[in-house]
Amino acid sequence: MKKKIVTTLAFTLIIVASLLVIFAPSKNKNNSKISIVTSNVILKSMVNSIGGKYVQVSSLTTNGSEIHDFNPTPSQIKKLTQADLYIKNGLGLEPKLNDKPKKTLVASEGILSVKFKDGNKNPHAYLSFLGISTYLKNITSELIEIDTSHKSFYEANLKNQLIELQKLEKKYLSKDHDFTIVTDEDAFAYLAKELKFDNQFVEQILSNQSVSPKKMADFINQLKKEKNVKLLSSANESSKTLQTIGDGIDKKISGSVFVDGLDNKKDYLQTFKENLEVIYE
């Protein structure tokens, strides 16, 4: 009789344990991949770095295309509304979508924005150390909210990404920052604030989308007073205005940086490293 009771008790415990596993609090019970749509390929790369094999990610914009103002195709809109999650940059980067996704994450949530002179928010936080770490943490929290069963996987990936980012930040904080970069648009305001280099850009001398001759002359005279000026074009684009500035201060464009996309076959962190190398070389 005693043996029978023990056997029955053991069998009951096995059933209870099985039920606990089956009904564990996970919002992704069928273990399918989380379907995610991002507004651009930079965010897509960040999501893949955290979600890995448990996410299926597509982007509304392709690498090298316009990410500030775009119109999703009907097929993209369908995919967007069917996806588990839509991730956008925020800070005024993307256009407003008429079709509502099931759930939306603003990756830049929590960032103290840098403002343009017109008062609008600068959306390029993803080109800075604090920006990237904030985006990654927000993405990780959202993935865990959707799929608690792989919480440890997402957290481990986040930890690894942050370690690499911290190493990179430590390396560049120790370098000489006594220089000025000149780019087409104000894309490196966040990074310049972190690393303490001077950040200048062509957009500040534009009047109604055209270059003001007086502002151009004043800008060139201002740059002539600087000890170390680096002219940096946007990747895969040529800038006649930058070339004109270079002629005025007797300098050539020294390199190109990725502002709205990724270097081919490289992820967001590799592209970020490449930008830093170009800025500091």
With cut-offs at 50, 70 and 90, classify the pLDDT of residue 64: confident
Residue of 242, 15, 276, 281 lying closest to 165 (CA atoms): 276
The per-residue pLDDT for 212 is 80
Dist CA 199 CA 186 (whole Å): 8
**What strands lie across the sheet with 198-201, from one edge to the other?**
198-201, 180-183, 229-234, 253-257
Dist CA 195 CA 189 (whole Å): 10
Tell me if residue 188 falls in helix, strand or coil.
coil
The per-residue pLDDT for 31 is 63
Tell me if residue 66 falls in helix, strand or coil.
coil
Task: Answer yes or no: is pLDDT of 274 > 80.
Answer: yes
Task: Answer yes or no: is pLDDT of 169 > 90.
Answer: yes
Residue 198 vs residue 118, higher pLDDT:
198
The per-residue pLDDT for 20 is 41
User: How is residue 127 written in tokens?
Assistant: 């080109």
Residue 205 vs residue 78, higher pLDDT:
78
User: How is residue 164 written in tokens?
Assistant: 């690499």
Letter string b/e over residues 244-259, b meaning 16 or more CB atoms within 10 A of that residue's CB: ebbeebeeebbbbbbb
The domains found in the chain, sorted by start residue, are 34-171 (3.40.50.1980), 175-280 (3.40.50.1980)
Share of the chain above pLDDT 70, in %: 88
Radius of gyration (Cα) for the chain, nearest Å?
24
Which positions ≥6 away from 116 have C-beta within 8 Å?
122, 186
With cut-offs at 50, 70 and 90, classify the pLDDT of residue 4: very low
DSSP string over 25-41: S-S-TT-PPEEEEESSH
Dist CA 156 CA 148 (whole Å): 14
User: How is residue 241 written in tokens?
Assistant: 């205005």
The per-residue pLDDT for 111 is 97
Tell me if residue 54 falls in helix, strand or coil.
helix
* Average pLDDT over the chain, rounded to an integer: 88
The per-residue pLDDT for 208 is 64
pLDDT in tens, 177-228: 999 999 999 999 999 999 999 999 998 887 666 778 888 999 999 999 998 9
Q: What average pLDDT does the segment 164-174 reach? A: 97
The per-residue pLDDT for 182 is 97
User: How is residue 277 written in tokens?
Assistant: 């190398």
Q: Which of 23-37, 49-63, 157-171 has the lowest mean pLDDT?
A: 23-37
Q: Are 49 and 55 in contact (CB under 8 A)?
A: no
Share of the chain above pLDDT 90, in %: 71
With cut-offs at 50, 70 and 90, classify the pLDDT of residue 27: low
Task: Answer yes or no: is pLDDT of 131 > 50.
Answer: yes
